[in-house]
Every structure is written in structure tokens, then in C-alpha cells.
Amino acid sequence: MFDQLSGRLEKMMKFLRGEGKVTEKNMTEALKMMRLALLEADVNYKVVKEFEARIREKALGEEVLRSLTPAQQVLKIVRDELTGILGGQQKALIFAGSPPSIFMLVGLQGSGKTTTCGKLARWVAGIGKNPLLVSFDLKRLAAQAQLKTIAASLGVSFYEMTPDEMASPRDALKELMIFARNRAFDPLIVDTAGRLHVDEDLMEELRLVKDILKPVETIYVGDAMTGQDAVRSAQAFEEKIGLTSVILTKLDGDARGGAALSIVSVTGKPIKFVGVGEKPDKFDVFHPDRMASRILGMGDILTLIEKAEEEADTDEAQELARKIRKQEFTLEDFRKQLVQLKKMGSVSGILGHLPQVGPLKNLAKAEVDDSKIAHFVAIINSMTSRERENPKLLNGSRRLRIAKGSGRPVHEVNQLVKQFQDMQKMMKKPQLQKMLGGLK
Ligand SMILES: Nc1nc2c(ncn2[C@@H]2O[C@H](COP(=O)(O)OP(=O)(O)OP(=O)(O)O)[C@@H](O)[C@H]2O)c(=O)[nH]1
Ligand SMILES: [Mg+2]
């Protein structure tokens, strides 16, 4: 969803790359490009203004590292500042000291609250919790039914409110707490009603529910596709009922990113998760630093690794991270990755997370289908283990032998070797190494 913004920022970097050093004049030009890029991405204008001022100050100030080129300096500053406006450090969910912790999800109609209740329940179950879903949409019976269906499909427990309980939510909560404590449920994830607009009626109902529940997390669920509208309504919810965090949904759509880039600055509340599709697993922990890198086209190899960890063997994924860090990544590892990719099936989904540089970009562009992966795997299979460890051995005659052995043309062997070498180069980049440094 940040494609357009990424493209424009890339242009700005390209411009700076052509400049000998950072000057008042070229920074003014570069910042103008950046300002337009951000405004076009529907970022709140106040946020843009402050962002620009900070970057100008840092880029022209003392903090600049002389060893870096102007483009690198600015890239670093922009990356750090982008991470900042996205919230800085990743913020974890808060759990109550004495269970059950209550998470109350609020937001406008259709923003994805009910869907997100399910996703969140699935996610916390994945970290060993025992969630209970309940709907405090006190007026619409159908709302309960929707959540009940979601709970059943996920195998998550659901507490059904009787019409009597819905009429007196205060008593309902007492029953609910006894039920939850007896069965050691934690957290209690509470769905609420939505309206098309922020109206007093809704706010009153939500204030009442919040007052009864005393949630440890009041989570605003915002539809990223609605851009600044989502930001404005978040602000209204923050003022009228108070929030602790934000979940943005529909980041898979053609949102331009403005909501994500403005909402933390405007509300002061962290984005903790993002929804990236309708299915329950289309839900990611939000990492400001990785998102910033992704916007700047540095890709997101960490998210890739996380995905791999989820879907594949954890030890292997950690070993992969270690190898990339130590620059020991070989063709054999590349082969394993390709096989893994093929197993996961969701090639395009995974590729979206890969660094948008070097070979993977080409892979993504070529819209790799499974047969392409199969061909690459066949080629590597035809190499000796020494060749896999050390591709420098691959001279003309060896390449010819491998082509014959795998039944693929020589130019495809060359292409594979070239892509692998580009990938190795990319993995040596300090930014990537720094990112991996934080990964145990
Ligand atoms: N593409 C996409 N669709 C989503 C995402 N999250 C939710 N949706 C869809 O958005 C629509 C509305 O979702 P709901 O969960 O019913 O929204 P709600 O906020 O509970 O709506 P009300 O209860 O009517 O206020 C559904 O069609 C969901 O499938 C997401 O991350 N990506
Ligand atoms: Mg709902």
C-alpha cells in the first residue's frame, strides 16, 4: 500500500545520490519532493510539516556523519524519523496484573472490529493465552451471532449474552467475570457497536460499557483505506472515551498509507497490530522500524523471517537469520528457501515482504510461478556440494554441465548465479545487518 510513496521517496534519494554533499539548496529541493510525496500519500499536513522541519534540522545540522554520502545520510535520517512517527519502538499488548485482562475494541461501523476480535483471539491463543470472546454490542442481536460464528470457526471460546444480560450490562459483567475466572480465561476480548459517524449516542453507550468493563486495553480499530477520516475519528474516540492503542485494518487494500503515518502523532497512541486481509491469519504485529524500512524500499526481511518461523521450522529460520548475519548464506541455503517458498504456496504474499532490491525484486517482477522456482531448484540440485558452498567455482564448463544435468538452458543457470550474487551483496548492507543484529 505504500508503493506510490515508496516510489516518490526513491526518486528523492536518486536526486540526492547525484549530489556531492548536503547543502541548503539541494536539501530544500529534496524536502520539497518529500513533502509532496507525503501529502499525496494523504498524511496529515501538520505531521508532514513537523516531519520536514526535523529532517531539515538534522540533515543540515551537526549530527550528520561525514563518512556517509548525502543520500545515505538523508536515508538514515528519514528512516529514523519515519520510524518515529510510526511510533518508535514496537509496543506490546498490556495484560492485567490479575486476570482476566479486558480488551475492548471500538471503532466506526465496518472498520473491522468484529473480524479483528477474532484475529486478536487467534493471535493471543498463539502466544499461549486462553481468550474468551464476548460482544457488548447491546442493541444488535445479529452482532453477537457474527462474533459467535467467528469464534466457532477459530475454535475460540465465546460467551453468549442473554437478552436479560444485554439489558443490564453491569450484572452481565459480574456473571461474565465469574465465568472467566472459574475457567481461567485471559484475556476477555470485547466487541462493541459501531456507527457510521462519531455520534453522541454511540459515545454514551461506549462510555457506559467502558465504565463497567474497566478494560486494560481500549483499542481503536480503524480502516486504513479511509485515510484521514480514520485519523479524525480516532481523535474523537480518544477525546470522548480514551484509548490505549490502535489497530489499523485493510492495509492490504489500496490505502495510501496516510492513516498509518498520521495516527500515532495525532492520537499519541501506538499502533500494535495491522490487519492485512479478511482471513483470520491476515494479522501482523506492527513494527514501526520495519515499516519505515519497507516504505523506503529496504524491504522487510525480518517480517519474511517471522513468516517463515510461523510456517516452517523455527530452528531453521533462526539458522537462516544467523547465516545472513554472518554472511554465510550459500546456494544450498538459497535452495532450501526456494523449496520453503514453494511449500508455503503463497508466493506473492511472501514476496511482498522481501527486500525490494536486487534479485528478489527481479523475482517479484517476473511474478515467479511455481515452475520458475522448480527450475531454480533443479539447477541447484545439479550442482555439487562444493559448488553450492562456493559459486565462484562455477566456470563456463561447469555451468554447461549443470544446464545439461538439470535440463535447463545455460542462460537460466547464469541468471540464477547472478541473482544469488546480487542477493549476497544485498545481505551485506549495513542497514540489513543492523536490523538482523536485534534478532536473537
Ligand atoms: N481486506 C480486508 N478486509 C477486512 C479487514 N478487516 C476486516 N475486513 C472486512 O471488513 C468488513 C467489516 O468487518 P467487520 O469486522 O464486520 O466490521 P465491524 O467494525 O465489526 O462492523 P460493525 O459491527 O457493523 O460496526 C468485513 O467484510 C471484513 O471481512 C482487513 O484487514 N482487510
Ligand atoms: Mg461488528
What the block records as the C-alpha cell of 151 is 469464534
* Domain residue spans of the chain: 3-85, 102-298, 304-436
Polymer length in residues for the chain: 440
| Closest ligand 1 atom, residue 137 Cα | 23
The closest of 278, 292, 288, 220 to 250, measured between CA atoms, is 278
pLDDT of 237 reads 96
Tell me, rounded to whole angstroms, the distance of Cα 24 from its chain centroid. Answer: 35
Q: What is the pTM of this model?
A: 0.70
- DSSP sequence for 286-347: --HHHHHHHHTT---HHHHHHHHHHHS-HHHHHHHHHHHHHT---HHHHHHHHHHHHHH--H
DSSP 8-state class, residue 57: H
- How far away, in angstroms, is 115 Cα from ligand 1 center? 5
Q: What percent of the chain has pLDDT over 90?
A: 47
pLDDT, mean over the chain: 83
Instruction: Among 113, 115, 198, 247, say which to mutate for ligand 1: greatest number of ligand atoms within 8 Å of CB.
Output: 115
Fold of 102-298: Rossmann fold (3.40.50)
- How far away, in angstroms, is 237 Cα from ligand 1 center? 18
pLDDT of 413 reads 94
Domain range 304-436, its CATH number among 1.10.10.60, 3.40.50.2300, 3.40.50.360, 1.10.260.30: 1.10.260.30
Each residue's pLDDT tens digit, 100-138: 999 999 999 999 999 999 999 999 999 999 999 999 987
Task: List residues near ligand 1 (CB under 6 A).
Answer: 107, 109-115, 143, 194, 249-250, 252-253, 275-278, 282
What is the residue type of 135? Answer: S
Sheet holding 271-275, edge to edge: 157-159, 132-135, 188-191, 102-106, 217-223, 245-249, 271-275, 283-285
What the block records as the C-alpha cell of 60 is 543540515
Each residue's pLDDT tens digit, 215-274: 999 999 999 999 899 999 999 999 999 999 999 999 987 777 889 999 999 999 999 999
The CATH number of 3-85 is 1.20.120.140
Each residue's pLDDT tens digit, 297-346: 654 444 444 454 455 455 665 677 677 777 777 888 888 777 766 655 44
**Alpha-carbon span 95 to 286, nearest angstrom:** 18
The closest of 365, 367, 362 to 416, measured between CA atoms, is 362
- Range of weakest confidence among 23-27, 104-108, 245-249, 395-399: 23-27
Each residue's pLDDT tens digit, 149-189: 999 999 999 999 988 888 888 898 889 999 999 999 999 99
- How far away, in angstroms, is 110 Cα from ligand 2 center? 7
Taking 50 as the threshold, does the pLDDT of residue 360 lie above it?
no
